[in-house]
Structure 1
């Protein structure tokens, strides 16, 4: 692809799209600005107009990943239906993201736990838990979810759907379709969360 075909920020977006593909195909160690430039058919210097180094690309992937995940979760929280239906949709959205973008999610969690993680990263990384806890609290007010710390209940819910996604990504669900396993896991999880 010719360098001149990128304009109005398209090269930055193309670099990030290709970087996520390299991450999924070959892992973080295979990612380099030079390799991205080669893959996109631009000069070796072209990526440095958008990213100072490889770490800047990784940081942008992480920030973009959390932003996209949070946007999807917000849509589920603010969606139509009962609070239980929205809780189930929240779980489905998370499993879909975690299975579609597994390598990116792994990078996101690694970056989130780095000692030098920025306050901004910490804020956006915790947004998904805040959204889930807010919906759990709403469900408690509606009498649909048992009493308890909404954050702790949301953490347990996340561990359930995250574990399911990890099994799916690892090919450990045997012949069970991911959607079917997700629906069953959410049915059991919501039954456990119900009040009374």
Structure 2
């Protein structure tokens, strides 16, 4: 995603308006398509932001529920919903009242994520090695599509476009702030 962020930085330097990707698309698109592309990209970014936030909360709830099921052997169908709701409330509480601690704990969070990523990667690689399953080929990864969602293919494509779009949500503001901070020096 560094390429996306470098692109945001370049656009933020050229157009220092307090706007987002929809503004930049409106500036760079051909004249006949500016309004439509800007409108469409703005709404896709709104939807991807909602998806990004909701998916994060649901991943936490489902992950903890899976650990509970793995430990107890009982599948509580209501548990992911309850844990997702509790997670959303906790996120609100931390961001509302404990935000001074977040800056102090940032390095600890970073180290935790790096260690967890390394451990998870090693576990997955070791599980794969012992499973006897074949590795995916480049054809499987890039050209083999399986639409088992029940959605028609065009709708499924639009839904899956929201996931990579969510990686660009909110990062443009960091470049705007960086630009304005550098201008003050």
- Structure number, greater radius of gyration: 2
Q: Which has the higher contact order (CA 8 A, sep 6+)?
A: 2
Q: Same fold (TM over 0.5)?
A: no
- TM-score where L is the length of structure 1: 0.30
Question: Normalized per residue, which structure has more helix?
Answer: 2
